[in-house]
Amino acid sequence: MSLLEVDALDVHYGAIHALHKVSLAVEEGEIVTLIGSNGAGKSTTLRALSGMVQSSGGTIVYGGRSIVGLRSDEIVRLGLAHAPEGRGIFGSLTVRENLELGAFSRRDGKVRSDLERMFERFPILQERAQQSAGTLSGGEQQMLAVARALMARPKLLLLDEPSLGLAPKIVQKIFAIVAEINRDGVTILLVEQNAHLALSVAHRAYVLETGEVKMAGSASELAASDEVRKAYLGVG
């Protein structure tokens, strides 16, 4: 059974019908990416999964149980963490406090050692540990957002546009980290504008258009398809 199975998911924002019967699955250990143009419903999909918006139809089964209707804090406790769009760090708290808050839902005693592991992986965060997070550069804030989500020790990590507004070099670095996290056993559902990069790191992909799944397949298949090349990779 898949780690995450979404079937015929519908989401409305008032009168706006943002998702139409979206179905997708994520297997344990995978990196799956959602690509699509602005307003396609990528962030909405992640928000529905993490309980930040309520769905109006369909099922979400995570780890064998339905998580529809659970609050986001309950979902985090089940090991499903969400690094939302636009970083969303706690600006006036220190970097360390941000990371500690990432482990808010955990009750085990290993938070401190995880914090050290996170500092090893992101040395810049260790250097800035006592600094207020609002003073970090954009790339550093993005690393903090990823690191903070990892502090929840998720089984499934939802990443929303980690490359947004970053220089190519930093983007490379963040994607290397995403791959590394995945090798360590974290399953990842990645939303990305940069389809090229996303397809290079992911195993499988879904293409979302105006709230509907238009295509699905392995990352290499989609990267080779004419439609995707035209619409999202800017080729041809």
Partner 1 sequence: MIPAAAQPISVTRALTRSLLPVAVGLGLGLGLGQVVPTGTYAEKILFDIGINIILAVSLNLVNGFTGQFSMGHAGFMALGAYASIVVTYYGGFALFGDVGCHLNAQGYGLYFTSLVVGGLVAAAAGYLVGLPSLRLRGDYLAIVTLGFGEIIRVVLQVSYAVVEPEEMATVDWWERPLHLGKSLGFVHQGAYNSLSWTYAAVVLTLLCAYRLRESTHGRAFLSVRENEIAAEAVGIDTTRYKVNAFVLAAFFAGVAGALFGHQLGTGTAARPEEFNFMKSFEAIIMVVLGGMGSISGAALAAVTLTLLTELLRSVQDYRMVSYALLLILVMILRPEGLFGTRELWHFLRRRRP
Site for ligand ATP contains 41 (CB under 6 A): yes
In the chain, count of helices (H) and strands (E)?
10, 10
Taking the least distance from each CB to Mg ion, the nearer of 95 and 174 is 174
Contact flag: residue 18 with ligand ATP (CB under 6 A):
yes
Stretches 10-18, 73-81, 145-153, 173-181: which one binds ligand ATP (CB under 6 A)? 10-18
- Residue 128 binds to partner 1 (criterion: CB under 8 A): no
Q: Is 43 in the site for Mg ion (CB under 5 A)?
A: yes
The residues with which 140 forms a beta bridge, in sequence order, are none
**Half-sphere exposure for 220 (CA within 13 Å, toward CB):** 0
* Spatial separation of the C-alpha atoms in residues 29 and 186, rounded to whole Å: 6
By CB under 6 A, the residues from 186 to 215 that bind ligand ATP are 193
Q: How far is the CB of 32 from Mg ion (least distance, A)?
A: 16
CB nearer to Mg ion: pick between 119 and 175: 175
* Span near ligand ATP by CB under 6 A; candidates 33-41, 88-96, 131-139, 169-177: 33-41
**Residue 161: both structure tokens together:** 């546009």
Select 14 or 64, whichever has its Cβ closest to ligand ATP: 14
Residue with smaller CB distance to partner 1, 102 or 211: 102
Which regions of 37-132 does DSSP assign to beta strands (E)?
57-62, 65-66, 80-83
Q: Between the CA of residue 61 and those of 12, 80, 82, 128, 134, what are the distances in Å?
A: 20, 12, 16, 39, 36
Residue closer to ligand ATP (CB basis): 86 or 168: 86
Say if CB 166 and CB 138 are below 8 A apart: yes
State the Rg of the chain over Cα: 17
Min. distance of Cβ 129 from ligand ATP in angstroms?
Answer: 31
Rounded to an integer, what distance in angstroms lies between the CA atom of residue 74 and that of residue 110?
Answer: 20
**What span, in angstroms and rounded, lies between the C-alpha atoms of 221 and 235?**
15
Neighbours of 188 (CB within 10 A): 22
Contact of residue 16 among ligand ATP, Mg ion, partner 1, none (CB under 5-8 Å per partner type):
ligand ATP
Q: Which is nearer to partner 1, 92 or 218 (CB)?
A: 92
Q: Provide the binding-site residues for partner 1, judged by CB under 8 A.
A: 50-52, 71-73, 76-77, 81-84, 88-93, 97, 100-102, 104-105, 112, 115-116, 119, 126, 148-149, 152
Q: Provide the binding-site residues for ligand ATP, judged by CB under 6 A.
A: 13, 16, 18, 36, 38-44, 85, 193
